[in-house]
């Protein structure tokens, strides 16, 4: 999942907060995901404020899921590194809350086997991936949700 809409004026990129629109987008996405919430065991979020706030909205709406913070899903992390390092963390069903370009390149890598495809992540979009192997080309795209 990409974080919700965030303000543009902040001291740093990591300090950008969700706007009212961003909160509403996350609330809509939580409603969309609610029928499948049994598949989500935890939320893993980037440490950036907007991702943490998005994760909290999702957690609150989906029954208080635990939120873990990971430096592995910040915007500039290489997707191949993130995929390799996150394997153990996501094995039991996780909602990742991250940023562009990482979310798009990770989906491309996991589904297509390379990070060149472009998936249309608007703010608060979410891709549902499934498969036996968390590896390059090892998953399939089940659904793509937009708020």
Q: 15-33 pLDDT, tens per residue?
A: 999 999 999 999 999 999 9
DSSP letter for each residue of 49-105: HHHHHHHHHHHHHTT---EEE-GGGSTTS-HHHHHHHHHHHHTT-EEEEB-TTHHHH
pLDDT per residue as tens digits for the range 117-138: 889 999 999 999 999 888 999 9
Q: Which tens digits make up the pLDDT trace of 36-64?
A: 888 899 999 999 999 999 999 999 999 99
In order of 7, 16, 22, 58, the CA distances from 91 in angstroms are: 33, 30, 28, 20
* Spatial CA neighbour of 16 closest among 48, 42, 44, 39: 48
Domain 13-145 sits in CATH 3.20.20.70: no
């Amino acid at each position: 999942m990409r974080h919700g809409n965030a303000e543009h004026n902040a001291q740093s990129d990591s300090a950008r907060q969700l706007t009212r629109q961003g909160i509403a987008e996350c609330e809509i996405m939580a409603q969309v995901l609610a029928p499948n919430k049994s598949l989500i065991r935890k939320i893993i979020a980037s440490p950036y404020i907007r991702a943490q706030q998005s994760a909290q909205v999702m957690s609150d709406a989906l029954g208080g899921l635990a939120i873990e913070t990971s430096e592995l899903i910040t915007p500039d992390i290489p997707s191949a590194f993130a995929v390799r390092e996150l394997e153990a963390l996501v094995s039991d069903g996780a909602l990742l809350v991250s940023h562009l370009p990482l979310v798009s390149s990770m989906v491309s890598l996991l589904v297509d086997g390379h990070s060149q495809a472009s998936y249309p992540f608007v703010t608060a979009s979410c891709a549902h991936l499934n498969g036996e192997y968390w590896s390059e080309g090892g998953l399939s795209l089940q659904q793509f949700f937009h708020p």
